[in-house]
Amino acid sequence: MERLDKVISESGRLSRSECKRYVKQKRIKVDGVTAKTSDMKVDKELADIRIDGERLNVKRRVVAILNKPSGYVTSTEDPRDRTVMDLIPEEYRHLGLFPVGRLDKETEGLLVMTNDGDLAHRLITPKNGVRKVYFALFEGKFEQDDIKAFRDGIVLKDGQKCLPADICSYKEGCLILVREGKYHQVRRMMAARKMKVTYLERVMEGDISLHSLERGCFRVLSDEEEILLFKEEKPWF
């Protein structure tokens, strides 16, 4: 059983505060009875919830990935910029999807999008150590002792200490593996080692990579792929 306002807001039909107002205005019925409080418990699979007489479509759970291009902000709305929400295909727009974690406006690559708050939390919490792998181009020099510094935990310029991470040379840049998501983390870790990132792309999260998903495109994951988000591989290079 879940709160009425949670079920309604997750459906994308009304926000929680709108739901409260609608309840006061007696515009919501549950199984034919006018709802008295917005926190009443309902069975979202079975309850007949009607708003102004119209039956609520309890949303389908979706976990998807987007190959984010540069120039889009990772946010559900923005007064100035295009957001990653603009790249969701029309048929998925009513499902209440939101981005999991954040890629900077200039950063490209893999972004998980879902309407499942619990899954988002599990992916983000550093306690679960879900790995994110980035490819970076940079100015400066990558030295062997950077590997040890990353493993020991980089101390950022503001004094924050990062969890142990990995870095290796790859093509004309580096691959960096982190298991948390601090603000501008990779750029700041590299800066702490005197490397200035000029291009950044997330290439992997958990065991999911972009494969053939084109830049700007969106794809729903299967249940099997979703499990790969949490799969733990030991050494990665």
210 binds ligand URA (CB under 6 A): no
Q: For ligand URA, which stretch binds (CB under 6 A), given 46-54, 88-96, 103-111, 209-217?
A: 103-111
Residue bearing tokens 């290079």: 237
Q: How far apart are CA 89 and CA 217, in angstroms?
A: 9
For residue 81, is it left (φ>0), alpha (ψ between -120 and 50) or beta?
beta
Under the criterion CB under 6 A, does residue 103 sit at the interface with ligand URA?
yes
Is 104 a binder of ligand URA (CB under 6 A)? Answer: yes
Instruction: Please provide residue 162's backbone torsions phi and psi, each rounded to the nearest 5 degrees.
Output: -85, 155
Nearer to ligand URA, 30 or 130 (CB): 130
Instruction: Give the Cα separation of 162 and 180 in Å (integer).
Output: 8
Residue 7 near residue 49 (C-beta atoms within 8 A): yes
Distance between CA atoms of residues 74 and 59, nearest Å? 23
Task: CB nearer to ligand URA: give 44 or 131.
Answer: 131
Region of 75-83, 100-108, 115-123, 163-171 interacting with ligand URA (CB under 6 A):
100-108
Catalytic status, residue 145: no
Q: Which two tokens stand for residue 217?
A: 């495109």
Marked catalytic residue, from 5, 52, 81, 104: 104
- Tokens standing for residue 10: 């997750």
Give the residue, chosen from 3, 20, 184, 215, that forms a contact with ligand URA under the rule CB under 6 A: 184
- Give the residue, chosen from 187, 204, 206, 218, that forms a contact with ligand URA under the rule CB under 6 A: 187
- For residue 92, with 0-12 CB atoms within 10 Å meaning exposed, 13-18 middle and 19 or more buried, which class applies? middle
73 sits near ligand URA (criterion: CB under 6 A)? no
Told to check if 200 binds ligand URA by CB under 6 A, we report yes
Count of positions on this chain that bind ligand URA (CB under 6 A): 8
Q: Catalytic positions, please?
A: 104
